[in-house]
């Protein structure tokens, strides 16, 4: 990774040039499904995987895992913040891939201002369009007891509208949230998820380019009746066995509005360390016999 640092020191203009030269692709292929690898957790200071609080601390190790994942058949693209995307870009790993920029990362994990989730990465649809990315993602946590929620909702709505004007995907990740013992907790019961879906679906002047990013929860068939928007399921911090995780994904992917997965830690940091095998299993679930 020394070459990346040297490039950043001597030729920082290479980044903007590489965005303009990057080979793009259609958002979805013939099956209308997506498998996206997520790596925007570090920008919130969220580095833990299972019991290891610093699992994602090494940037070279993370980039290496991401490149391994992106090289596997059936992996459509990546979701990350500018720093991670630019490392991958300079290494040529984003050619022909769907690239989603993570927008609001100001709600740092554990902070008193966590729900006032400022757009501190890609701050606008214009910044994403100028770099020829394929969409933007915004985490939209809704806590009726936290005044910061309304600013997040307003900013997310503006991003949804702006991305639609550029005909780019707006990936909205809503949660009904609360604070317990000073920590933000996302409520994952079906009714709470349904409420968050309805609020997220109404953000912006149009929902034409809006996709949802939702957790796998109980009674998911009823939950997914809350929307006609295409939905990608998130992986989260993998706390159950891989077999349970894959089984839950497989069942959920049979629902009509579920169009794929956005998974980070479960694929990049599998218990056995075999990133390729973990990604290949997910690709088969999303796309069928591609791997």
Domain ranges, ordered by start, for the chain = 1-8+23-287
Residue 240's pLDDT is what?
79
- Does residue 148 surpass a pLDDT of 70? yes
- Does residue 290 surpass a pLDDT of 70? no
**Average pLDDT of the residues of the chain:** 95
Rounded Cα gap, residues 199 and 53, in angstroms: 32
- Does residue 24 surpass a pLDDT of 80? yes
pTM: 0.96
Using the 8-state DSSP alphabet, how is residue 240 labeled? S
- Does residue 289 surpass a pLDDT of 80? no
Model pLDDT for residues 242-275, shown as the tens digit of each residue: 899 999 999 999 999 999 999 999 999 999 999 9
If you average pLDDT over residues 144-163, what whole number do you get? 97
Rounded Cα gap, residues 163 and 137, in angstroms: 10
Which range is least confidently modeled, 10-14, 83-87, 239-243, 250-254?
239-243
If you average pLDDT over residues 158-167, what whole number do you get? 98
Residue 235's pLDDT is what?
83
63-88 core/surface letters (b: 16 or more CB in 10 A; e: else): bebbbbbbebebbbbbbbbbebbbbb
- Does residue 230 surpass a pLDDT of 50? yes
If you average pLDDT over residues 270-284, what whole number do you get? 96
The CATH classification of domain 1-8+23-287, taken from the options 3.20.20.70, 3.40.50.700, 3.40.50.720, 3.40.1350.10: 3.20.20.70
Model pLDDT for residues 170-229, shown as the tens digit of each residue: 999 999 999 988 899 999 999 999 999 999 999 999 999 999 999 999 999 999 999 999
133-150 core/surface letters (b: 16 or more CB in 10 A; e: else): bbbbbbbbbbbeebebbe
Rounded Cα gap, residues 178 and 159, in angstroms: 24
Rounded Cα gap, residues 254 and 285, in angstroms: 10
Residue 182's pLDDT is what?
86
Percent of the chain at pLDDT exceeding 70 = 98
Task: Please state the φ and ψ torsions of residue 89, each to the nearest 5 degrees.
Answer: -60, -50
- Does residue 239 surpass a pLDDT of 80? no
Residue 291's pLDDT is what?
40
């Amino acid at each position: 990774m020394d070459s990346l640092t040297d490039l950043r020191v001597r030729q920082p203009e290479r980044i903007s040039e590489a965005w303009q030269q990057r080979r793009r692709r259609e958002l979805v292929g013939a099956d209308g499904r997506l498998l996206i690898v997520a790596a925007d957790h570090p920008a919130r200071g969220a580095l833990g995987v299972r019991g290891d609080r610093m699992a994602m601390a090494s940037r070279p190790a993370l980039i290496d895992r991401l490149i391994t994942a992106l090289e596997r058949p059936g992996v459509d693209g990546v979701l990350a913040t500018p720093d991670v995307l630019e490392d991958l870009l300079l290494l040529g790993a984003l050619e022909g891939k769907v690239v989603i920029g993570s927008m609001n990362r100001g709600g740092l994990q554990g902070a008193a201002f966590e729900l006032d989730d400022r757009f501190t990465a890609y701050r606008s649809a214009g910044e994403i369009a100028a770099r020829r990315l394929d969409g933007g993602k915004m985490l939209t946590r809704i806590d009726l007891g936290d005044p910061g929620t309304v600013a997040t909702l307003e900013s997310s709505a503006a991003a949804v509208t702006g991305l639609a004007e550029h005909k780019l995907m707006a990936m909205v990740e809503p949660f009904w949230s609360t604070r317990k013992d000073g920590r933000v907790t996302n409520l994952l019961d079906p009714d709470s998820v349904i409420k968050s879906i309805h609020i997220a679906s109404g953000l912006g002047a149009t929902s034409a380019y809006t996709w949802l990013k939702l957790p796998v929860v109980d009674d998911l068939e009823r939950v997914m009746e809350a929307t006609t928007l295409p939905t990608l399921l998130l992986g989260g911090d993998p706390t159950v066995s891989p077999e349970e995780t894959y089984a839950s994904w497989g069942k959920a992917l049979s629902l009509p509005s579920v169009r794929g997965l956005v998974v980070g830690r479960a694929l990049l940091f599998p218990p056995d360390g075999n990133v390729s095998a973990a990604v290949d299993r997910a690709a088969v679930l999303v796309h069928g016999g591609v791997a």
